Amino acid sequence: MDSLPDAIIQYILSHMTNARDLAVCNCVSKRWKDSTPYIKSLYFPRNSFDSHSGESSPDVIVCRIVSSIVRLEELVVYSPFTSAGLASWLSSIGPSLRRLELRMDNLVDLQACQESPSKLEYLKSAEKLESLKLWGVLMTHSPRWDVFQKLKNLEIVGAKLEDPALNSALRACPNLSNLLLLGCEGLTSVSIELKHLEQCKLDFYGLGNCSLMINSPKLQLLEVQGFSWIRARGTSSLTSLSIANNAGRVYMVDFDKLGSLESLSIRGVQWCWDAISKMLEWGSEVKHLYMKVEFTGDFDALEPFPEIDFVEFFNHHPKLQRFDIHGAMFAALCPKNSIKNVDPDFVISCLEEVSILVRSPLNAEQKMNTLESLIKYGKNLKTLAIKILRMKSSHSSADDFFDEICKFRYLNRKIVRIE
């Protein structure tokens, strides 16, 4: 590389991101050391200072490295750091920084939790951020942030939050287009009003009894987990919707028009039937429907699904191409009565893929009627996958049901498969 012009060396070395590689290059020659300040992105792995034995602290070393860079645009720090260290870095590189990712460790480091000002307070020095990702965050008090006008992407993973603190943080990011909160706990009521938001993913721990109010007219993707009450406004652009509650019960859903919705997923142990029926009604134009709700019922008692008319269901979902049904929904689809008086021209025209999870031999005859009707009326059906999981075999009915499924698969082996 000695024969290469300085500009070429600068270009090659500017593609380095790992801080350790940068430190090694600085030791090669003065020419290389003079070229490394032109990198755009810098990454400090978790173990960056595991074997460090020098006099300088990790905070000082990080500050020295980032301060030597002319215009750093992206900084990722997974190694431990203090509030004072973060303040010193951002005072140096804050104006040029566009993407920042930090492993905060507030949840496991008691000293870090008690520091004042906290690490969160110093983020306001990077006022031109476009993307902010934080891991292990304790946000029980509202962070004193100025407005991040340019911030488009906010991701927080593994956090303990309180309602006022989160609401305050979101108000400081009015132009977000992507919001991701994963593995969060401590919240009871979440309100989101972001006029530019396009993608939103919320995954909350706890009892599953949170409430959500969201008003984002440009929203295209919404995935939520852990909410019992959900109200959404300005959903005309929503194309993908996923609602799950693995710990609690979904009591209420309230959406505006979902005319653009193409993919709908509803999951959980128990949903009130009113919430399920509303989602099926609003999702009449979906192309992909995934249903894995085990029980219904408005109170503590777990109840099975009421019967769902086979013909009426598919007439109400004419664009459905892919259908994933598990447990209760499969048991509830009842073609026997509706098929007797069906219109001779009835056909499930768009359906191409069906995946069914079977766990019980109960109502075996009705389930077989459903399978046969899917084959008979699904004229464009290409795949029907029957997944048998932990079927109770203490009774001979389980063996008989499995034999019927095997015969059904043999007669329709070009389409049907058993997993």
Question: Which pLDDT band, with edges at 50, 70 and 90, does 140 fall under?
Answer: confident
287 within some domain = no
Give the residue-averaged pLDDT of 277-287: 95
What does the radius of gyration of the chain's CA atoms come to, in whole angstroms? 28
Sort strands 288-295 and 308-309 into parallel, antiparallel or unpaired.
Answer: unpaired
Tell me the pLDDT of the chain averaged across its residues: 88
Q: Which domain holds residue 56?
A: 1-97
Sort strands 240-250 and 252-255 into parallel, antiparallel or unpaired.
Answer: unpaired
Residue that the structure tokens 């012009």 belong to:
5
Provide the pLDDT for residue 182: 96
236 within some domain = no
Provide the pLDDT for residue 87: 92
158 within some domain = no
Residue 396, number of CB atoms within 10 A of its CB:
9
Identify whether the C-beta of residue 150 lies closer than 8 Å to the C-beta of residue 128: yes
Return the SS3 of 169: helix
Give pTM, 2 decimals: 0.89
226 within some domain = no
Q: Is the pLDDT of residue 257 over 70?
A: yes
391 within some domain = yes
Of 97, 121, 149, the one marking the end of a domain is 97
Provide the pLDDT for residue 327: 78
Give the residue-averaged pLDDT of 272-288: 95
* Secondary structure element (H or E) that encloses residue 231, with its range: strand 227-233
Q: 414: buried, middle or exposed (CB in 10 Å: 19+, 13-18, 0-12)?
A: exposed
How far apart are alpha carbons 181 and 184 in whole angstroms?
A: 7
Provide the pLDDT for residue 49: 78
Lowest average pLDDT, out of 225-234, 261-270, 359-368, 381-390, goes to: 359-368
Provide the pLDDT for residue 71: 87
Identify whether the C-beta of residue 284 lies closer than 8 Å to the C-beta of residue 313: no
Lowest average pLDDT, out of 18-27, 78-87, 294-303, goes to: 18-27
Of 97, 113, 148, the one marking the end of a domain is 97
138 within some domain = no
Of 80, 97, 114, the one marking the end of a domain is 97
- Please tell me the total count of domains within the chain: 2
